[in-house]
Amino acid sequence: MKLRRALPVVVLGLGLGLGVGCQKPKPADGQAEADKPAVADASDAAKPAGDAKPEGDAKPASDAKPAGDATPEGDAKPDDGAAPPAEARPMYYERALTDADLEGRTLRELDLMRNTIYARIGQQFRKQWLSDYFKAQPWYEPKDAVDEKSLSELDLKNAEKIVDFGNAISAATLREKRDALNEKMRDGTVSDEDKIEFQIIAARLGEWEGGDAIEERRSPLEDPDRLEELLAVDDLDDLSLRDLRILRNTIYARRGRPFRSELLQIFFDDKSWYKPVDEYSDKLLTSVDRKNIRLVMSVEKELGGPISDWGHMMEEGWLYGA
């Protein structure tokens, strides 16, 4: 695609929210949260354990401020008191967010808002567009290591608010936005920010339609059909630990696997191509599937180990980072 306090669970599915009142029993060591059926052996891609935090989940101190005189992009308030356009609004707030702060934002802007929380303490990002954006900010000071225990209660709640707001956007609305972006590509008015937005929408929907003006090779998250071919390490360079977990489980989902993880199940239930198989077995995986799973797992291991619901879902939300 644990219980620290009574925060609502963040789900990946489009337009869906899930409240969990209690924590599920933790899977046995060595069995991944993605598994509903048991995996017979290593060739069946037994799921790795590991509670490494996803990239972007570093916690900034409650009083941490951006370095230098500049504040995060858009922090200036409009002079006339009128509601400003999305890009002019702050990317970071030192108060609790409201729906009005988020309405009208693109998915790109919501991602920037969420990740500004982590960038403020120097979190680095594997996603190239996020890395480029924050490196262009005068206050950003990337660090090799960040304090993962210093995120304020307010920042946690704001990150959660941003994620929940974005997840409430329906698949139908996202397809309308995608169609509008395709129209801009056809008439030559599409911007670089528009292209990023298209790619984020494609990853959320798990489908690629149009995007003719985008020259970059499609990520397998943006276009799951690419999973019919062998992936290369370069295909995973732009993916965070959270993304890698989703990609690994996408391989299983394309063959109809049901999931014990409620986050993953709801995420894949929303995909047009997902058809769960009651009598699913990992024997349905192809040789290409198995090789791609092993490749994704190897990259996860290099980044500190795969993440799971149990380590993050009911604490600060494993989706909150990059």
What pLDDT was estimated at residue 92? 95
H-only helix segments in 168-259: 171-187, 192-205, 241-253
**Residue 299 vs residue 9, higher pLDDT:** 299
**Residue 307 vs residue 112, higher pLDDT:** 112
Structure tokens at 287: 């040789």
The predicted-structure confidence for 79-116, as pLDDT tens digits, reads as follows: 445 555 545 789 999 999 999 999 999 999 999 999 99
As to burial, measured by CB atoms within 10 angstroms (0-12 exposed, 13-18 middle, 19+ buried), residue 291 is: middle
What pLDDT was estimated at residue 309? 57
**Side chain identity at residue 24, one-letter code:** K
What is the rounded CA–CA span in Å between residue 8 and residue 15? 15
For residue 140, what are the contacts with CB-CB under 8 A and spacing of at least 6?
66, 67, 119, 122, 134
What is the rounded CA–CA span in Å between residue 120 and residue 55? 14
Note the maximum CA span of the chain: 65
Per-residue pLDDT band at 121 (split at 50, 70, 90): confident
**Residue 216 vs residue 255, higher pLDDT:** 255
Structure tokens at 213: 């003006």
What pLDDT was estimated at residue 262? 83
Taking residues 50-71, what's their average pLDDT? 37
Residue 120 has pLDDT above 70, yes or no: yes
The predicted-structure confidence for 141-186, as pLDDT tens digits, reads as follows: 999 988 867 789 999 899 999 989 998 999 999 999 999 999 999 9
What pLDDT was estimated at residue 176? 97
Structure tokens at 250: 């996408």
**Side chain identity at residue 280, one-letter code:** Y
Per-residue pLDDT band at 308 (split at 50, 70, 90): low
Taking residues 288-301, what's their average pLDDT? 96
- CA 229 to chain CA centroid, nearest Å: 23
Q: 18: which DSSP letter?
A: B
Task: Give me the half-sphere count of Cα atoms (radius 13 Å) on the Cβ side of residue 208.
Answer: 16
What pLDDT was estimated at residue 11? 37
What pLDDT was estimated at residue 149? 76
What is the rounded CA–CA span in Å between residue 133 and residue 195? 14
- Cβ–Cβ < 8 Å for 249, 280: no
Distances (CA, A) of 58 to 123, 151, 160, 208: 7, 7, 14, 31
- Cβ–Cβ < 8 Å for 184, 167: no
**pTM score:** 0.70
Taking residues 44-50, what's their average pLDDT? 38
Report the chain's mean pLDDT, rounded to a whole number. Answer: 76
Q: Among residues of the chain, what percentage have pLDDT more than 70?
A: 68
Tracing tokens 């999305």 back to the chain, one arrives at 86
How many other CB atoms sit within 10 Å of the CB of residue 231?
19
How many other CB atoms sit within 10 Å of the CB of residue 62?
13
